[in-house]
Amino acid sequence: MSLKVLIVDDEALARSRLRTLLAECTEPRADVVGEAGNAVQAMELIQRSGCELVLLDIHMPGVDGMALASTLRQMPKSPAVVFVTAYAEHAVQAFDLEAVDYLTKPVRRERLQQALQKVHKLLSAKDAPVEVGLPESLIIQERGRSERVALQDVIYLKAELKYITVRTREKEHIYDGALSDLEQRYGHLFVRVHRNALVSRRAVRAVEKHNDPVEGEGWTVRLDGVDERLSVSRRQLAAVREALMG
């Protein structure tokens, strides 16, 4: 098994270093389909090569890596993104953009291999056949055990740093995946309320205005089964109200 990888970095030495490390990786292997020194070159190669993974620097001349990742999210079939940067302070923003992983330079081969494994796992989940006769569900890997959680029991999915909190009435689970992928696959069951959260359509009970002393006036959603209220962005307010009416 192998992944088609595009390397995007404005420094030729950094690109060469990643090529060398990728050549040493196995399970999965990495096939480098191209290199780009800026975002414009990267977009041309992404559209031509059909790459599955972009190893992306952040600080580049012109359009930076964060802006490029944001653009990629809008593509119908976007490649996975793993940021490779010398700056650790952008990690939270990176995961808001649904990055699969965030590596800091100098990159170790073992750490790069872990990132490739995460991407492969994500892509395999997208291609997995639906099991006939079973309710739609997530397979949660926690503390050395696997557990099937039926999506009909999930109240919300919330992205927090590298992982997703899967909340049911009984407990919270930690899921290793991308929120955008879950939204794409299960949009009929969940509605996005904020950039970092999806809620069960059937669990929406009320949309309420609130006044935060710091952020000012805003909106929250009240959900059946939990006391916690989740923030609703103005951009998603109409969709959440539609889910309430439906």
Q: Tell whether the model's pLDDT for residue 66 goes beyond 90.
A: yes
pLDDT band with cut points at 50, 70 and 90 for residue 74: confident
Supply the pLDDT for residue 119. Answer: 92
Taking residues 151-161, what's their average pLDDT? 93
Higher-confidence position of 179 and 211? 179
Instruction: Among 30-44, 135-149, 156-170, name the one with the lowest average pLDDT.
Output: 135-149
Domain boundaries, the chain: 2-127, 138-245
Written as six digits, the tokens of 236 are 């998603």
Instruction: Among 122-126, 136-140, 187-191, name the one with the lowest average pLDDT.
Output: 122-126
CA distances in angstroms from 166 to 27, 45, 90, 141, 210, listed in the order given: 28, 36, 24, 12, 25
Supply the pLDDT for residue 214. Answer: 66
Supply the pLDDT for residue 143. Answer: 72
Residues 6+ apart with CB under 8 A from 159: 95, 96, 98, 165, 179, 196, 197
Angle at 140 between CA 139 and CA 146, to 5 degrees: 85
Is 36:45 a contact under the CB 8 Å cutoff?
yes
Taking residues 191-220, what's their average pLDDT? 88
Q: Percentage of the chain with pLDDT > 90?
A: 64
Taking residues 218-228, what's their average pLDDT? 93
138-245, superfamily in CATH? LytTr DNA-binding domain (2.40.50.1020)
CA distances in angstroms from 34 to 15, 16, 31, 51, 229, listed in the order given: 10, 11, 9, 9, 45
| Span 87-130, pLDDT tens digits | 888 887 877 788 888 999 999 999 999 999 999 988 887 665 54
| Span 25-42, pLDDT tens digits | 998 999 999 999 999 999
Angle at 180 between CA 179 and CA 183, to 5 degrees: 90
Supply the pLDDT for residue 242. Answer: 87
Cα separation, 142 vs 163, in Å, equals: 12
Specify the CATH number of the domain 2-127: 3.40.50.2300
pTM value is 0.57
Mean pLDDT for the chain overall: 89
Residues in the chain: 246
